Structure 1
Amino acid sequence: MIRIESSVRPEPLRRAPPFANDEPGLDNSGYYADFNSSKQCVSLNLQHPDGVAIAKRIVEHCDIVTESFTPKAMRAWGMTYEDLCEVRPDLIMISMPMYGLTGPWSMWQGYGHVLQAAAGISHLTAYPGEEPIGTGVAYTDFLVPHFAASALLAALDHRQRTGEGQNIDFGQMEAAIHATETMVLDYTVNGREQQPLGAGHPDYRPYGTYQCAARGDDDDRWIAITVTSEAELASLADVAGQPSWTSLEADALDSELASWTRTQQAEELMQQLQSAGVPAGVVQTPEDLRNDPQLAHRGHFWMLDHPTMGHRAYDGPSFRLSETPAELTKAAPLLGEDNEYVYKDIVGMSDDEYVELLVSGAFD
């Protein structure tokens, strides 16, 4: 995979914290690094007179092009699907603007926070009677790519069978709205607008996050508990030694449970509840995750050497293919790290042409 970036207008993630050793820099972002291991990166200024032509020379050697600009950007560069098919007729291209390639909002731009609001996610992520607060992260950035991957696999299958590429018009809002499908269905069928429940659930009780006893000096230990049936409630009551819990009203049960968990160690309580068949999980901190025994058993974290950030842990693949297991081959690339390899070995530039373009600022 080749990322095309530019120092003139750097990829925003390169400026996103956390930074290694708290030193900001385009090649020092842990956020960028974790999402871009095993990729190659070339620097290319598309505003340079030769920029677009160089980009098209790269496309000649690619199976897929992905982009998430508003439609006007690719049109202005002369890099629409039709333009790129002139150099790669069987190209698969996925365009992922927030609202898709067509429609009255197609030229509007936004990021994860805006998208989750537009898709209705922020409407439900709030406490009753209070303002929407959202998820605290760019939730749609982690939701949407799963749909995009499925679309690309379908296009690759079609090309393998027919030899034909295709353009995938992928509106991120239409993928994100799947996270609110029950809300939309309720309105469509019943004319009812669901309201925020805070940390609650319309059907499950108890359902929430409860504070636990301190661990050393850390008084911020919590556990999430979900009870979905009478059998699970009976098991919870048995673990707590409180048989009366099975007959309590929801609010009273929640209050009793919160008082009890405050006397329990989160990790030990999770073990007890899970052993009794009650879904429960510690609210883990970054330190907890890095030392998580389950993740360690699965070999989730990979240690890779980065030129500026050093020997660091990277998130590994979230799935295991029995016949073709994925591997992280290298740390995330520096900006322009793979220029010579891509431009000379893949594109076929001569040494003289490469130097001439370098001096002219094409690779800024």
Structure 2
Amino acid sequence: MSASIIPDPIARQPWRLLLPLFAIVALGGAVLYSAAGGSLDPYASRHFLRFAVFMAMALVMTRFPRDLVKMSAYPLYGLTLILLLGVELLGAMGGGSQRWLELGFLRLQPSELMKPIIVLVLARYYETLPASMTQEWRALLPAAGLIGAPMALVLMQPDLGTSLAIAFGGACVMFFAGLPMRWFVYSGAAAAVIAPLAFFFGLKPYQQSRVTTFLSPESDPLGEGYQITQSKIAIGSGGLTGKGFGNGSQSHLDYLPEPHTDFVFATMAEEWGLLGGVFVIVAFAIILNWGLTVARDAQDRFSQLLAGGMVVTIFFYIAINLMMVMGLAPVVGIPLPFMSHGGSSMLTNMICIGVLMMIHRWNRSGPRRMR
């Protein structure tokens, strides 16, 4: 009955993904509308326009054949590396960092593009590497080089948060590829030893202050700890049901910094309360669970690694932003997917969504694997 009422192209869409995605985008638009003082401009209107454009892009991506995606992995990686080099030579400054390329019609942040592309290129690399070689150095060193090159360029901008996102996505693909667990243990131990040295000699003063402020924001509530302190106040003051749409005092009275970007969740929680926060987290959980299902059902090694990597890339955004606004992680400038105002982060996350939808179509059109 329903098949005759609903057109087949619509019925075949992954609504288990799209419905929570549309709900998060709609709530994000409402929060941005409120953050602008009850106006669609300048945040909410751009938010919805960008989503519409990138959703169309994601739908186009679903039609890409597997061979084309495989073939494009290394060229896209090389092109993005060139763009990162271009940032160092010609990049625009903003907020004390040099991260953007001014293209006239678009202000592009190439480091954002590298997050899904590092997953793509590593999925391609491990797809061509025989499974018997995952215990050898050839499974580690070339992949480490593919991750290390963009990380070094991003750290020069400087952008610690994005470099960590690239490392996290790449490391997860290596883990999914079956590299020995001892290598990850050794890497973790080495990172624990290097971390203090990196803190004192590798981080810039403002980055060091973010770490110390995270550990004790109350020590300087009107200075370095101001952002985290105000974010906690906004979230806590929302209570169970919030102060009501458009009635958030922390954002409207300019106490909460960046209420439309990094701290959009705090803006939402003040007005929509704990119930709004639970709704957002559950919606994200549904999206991530759907992505993991796509990875589990993938027909080949390349698709499995690619889907798994895209899921963890979205997860990194969500986890770090939520931990950041709650004072559980340093403020590193990671926006909340599909809610924060910002074109580059929306583009990155919609690329991840488009890739997952593409692999979902591959799964539907291919023979079902025996389990």
More strand by share: 1
With a CA cutoff of 8 Å and minimum separation of 6, indicate the structure with the bigger relative contact order.
2
TM-score, reference length from structure 1: 0.24
More helix by share: 2
Structure (1 or 2) with the larger CA radius of gyration:
1
